[in-house]
Structure 1
Amino acid sequence: MRRFDEIIDLAAERHGGRDALERMLAETRPLAPQDIAKIPDDRILAAMTRRVFSAGFSSKIIDAKWQSFESAFEQFDPARCAWMTEERIDELLKDKDIVRNGAKIKSVQENGRFLTELAEKHGRAARFLAEWPDDDYVGLLGFLKKNGSRLGGETGMHFLRSIGKPAFITMPDVVKALIREQVLSKSPAGKGDFTKIQAALNQWSNQSGLDLTSMSRTLAMSVG
């Protein structure tokens, strides 16, 4: 496993130099924890829902329908979504202006309850997410998978990045780079593999001062 400065050099060589690389990384720079903590919980539920519905589906279609999603789910107020009646869920299953996937519609209710419970304990769900340490990002992914609905795997990763939380995403080029660096021998398939990724990124962060998002994107861009 080489030092991260060398990986930055690889990525810069492939993308027009360090200045160009820095400009690309700036496009997805994470928010400061205090700024994540200020995000209203309805926007957290909206971000969760957007990622859940985008999984295995065209993001362009979700984007085109998004205002209808906002209306259908009452601007994603967590308490209102948490207590949707079965009659309301049946109505949504007939709503042609959204994606009529029963399991994913149900996940909005379940994630509304999840966020409501977090807010009761922490004042705001966003504060809880903001304060989770980045050097245990894998632990946060596990927490979302266990306690949320349909937030496992890359869905949870994309959700966290979308709210500004530093996040690595195991996209194919990231995995290729991790295999090249001998962090992994194959695509990650279990807790042990993700623990290895976390340990490598923690070490690289100490070397470079970079956040998880920047390192993940740099790894992807270092692949030829």
Structure 2
Amino acid sequence: MRSFDEILAIAAARKGSTDAVLAGAMRAKPAAELAAIPGDRWLATMARGIFQAGISWTVVEAKWPGIEEAFAGFDVGRVSMMDDAWFDALLADTRVIRSGPKIAAIRDNAAFIRRVDETEGGFARRIADWPTEDYIGLLDWLTKNGSRLGGNTGAYMLRWMGKESFILSQDVVARLVAEGVVDAAPKSKKALQPVQAAFNQWRAESGRSFNEIGRVLAQSIG
């Protein structure tokens, strides 16, 4: 496995400079800032990822103001208590993506957030305090306790909210394969363990965030 600096040099040679490589990396928020994000924004971001899965993101973006309104601003308490009448109304509401399984997943994730808020010291705080070195453990927790948060959906949610994270895009996986970290896109927590180890090592070497490291890996290929 190459050092981070060696991979950065490959990416910089492709893109013209280190600054050009890192320009698109999203900033990771400090724990205190993450912990202060209210539950409705976590639920809204989950919903956006769920709705975007398998369809055009542009369609979801265009519908988003109506989706926010239809889901009562993603108020966690209200959505977690969604009754059959509201559920059926959403299925007929042209403002939203009218998918029963996706609407049910959003309701279930509201219940998930509410449960963690009530029993585990707060959903936002739990994510904010989760060790970066066990990021794959956080993904596994979301997958097992949430609804439709597996694959890259949970990872995108964390990235958009500001949690330091890596996303296994096609280009990132290609670089990981080239470095001998994995043979193919990892699909299980066990398969993700060498990915976590590699990111931890590159983070320790460089002092850069997972966001920046992932950007470098992707830019070294794509």
TM-score (norm: length of structure 2): 0.97
2:2 corresponds in structure 1 to 2
Q: CA deviation at 1:123?
A: 4.2
Q: Is the 8 A contact 2:24 2:215 kept in 1?
A: no
Give the alignment of 1:104-119 within 5 angstroms.
104-119=102-117
Amino acid at match of 1:2: R
Question: Residue 82 of structure 1: which of 80, 93, 97 is its match?
Answer: 80
* Length, aligned pairs only: 222
Mapped to 2, the partners of 1:186 and 1:46 lie a distance apart of 32
| 1:52-91 CA-partner distances (Å, limit 9, x unpaired) | 1111111111111111111111000111000000111011
User: Is the Cα–Cα contact under 8 Å of residues 140 and 189 in structure 2 kept in the other structure?
Assistant: no
2:149 — aligned with what? 151
The match for 1:23 is 23
One-letter identity of the residue aligned with 1:162: W
Q: What letter corresponds to residue 93 of structure 1 in structure 2? A: L
Of the candidates 89, 92, 98, which is equivalent to residue 90 of structure 2?
92
Residue of structure 1 equivalent to 2:63: 65
Secondary structure at the residue paired with 1:31?
A: coil
2:139 is aligned to 141
In structure 1, C-alpha distance between the alignment counterparts of 2:191 and 2:55, rounded to whole Å: 27
Q: Report the secondary structure of 1:24's partner residue.
A: coil
1:220 paired to 2:218:
yes
1:122: Cα distance to partner?
Answer: 4.1
The alignment-based identity, stated in percent, is 43
Q: Structure 1 CA distance, aligned partners of 2:55 and 2:70?
A: 19
Match of 1:19, as an amino acid?
A: D
Matches for 1:194-205 after TM superposition, within 5 Å: 194-205=192-203
Once structures 1 and 2 are overlaid, which stretch shifts more, 118-127 or 145-154?
118-127
Residue 177 of structure 1 aligns with which residue? 175
Contact 2:21-2:215 at 8 Å conserved across structures: no
Structure 1, unmatched stretches of 5+, are none
Distance change in 2, residues 1:133/1:206 (3 Å): same
Distance in 2 separating the partners of 1:221 and 1:21? 6
> Residues of 2 paired with 1:188 and 1:208: CA distance?
24
- Show the counterpart of 1:167: 165
Between the aligned partners of 2:191 and 2:10, the Cα distance in structure 1 is 24
- 1:188 equivalent in structure 2: 186
Whole-Å Cα distance in 1 between the matches of residues 107 and 130 of structure 2?
24
Distance in structure 2 (CA, Å) of the matches to 1:205 and 1:128: 22
- Cα separation, 1, equivalents of 2:47 and 2:210: 23
SS where residue 57 of structure 1 aligns?
A: coil
CA apart distance, 1:120? 1.0
User: Which residue number in structure 2 is paired with residue 47 of structure 1?
Assistant: 45
TM-score by length of 1: 0.96
Shift in Å at residue 222 of structure 1?
Answer: 0.6
Q: Which amino acid aligns with 1:156?
A: G
- For residues 83-112 of structure 1, the C-alpha deviation after alignment (integer angstroms, 9 at most, x for no partner) is 000111011000011110000001111001
Please say which of residues 123-132 and 54-63 is displaced more in the overlay. 123-132
- Unaligned 5+ runs, structure 2: none
Q: 2:99: which partner in 1?
A: 101
More off after superposition, 13-22 vs 68-77: 13-22
SS in 1 for 2:119: helix
Quick one: which amino acid aligns to residue 178 of structure 1?
L
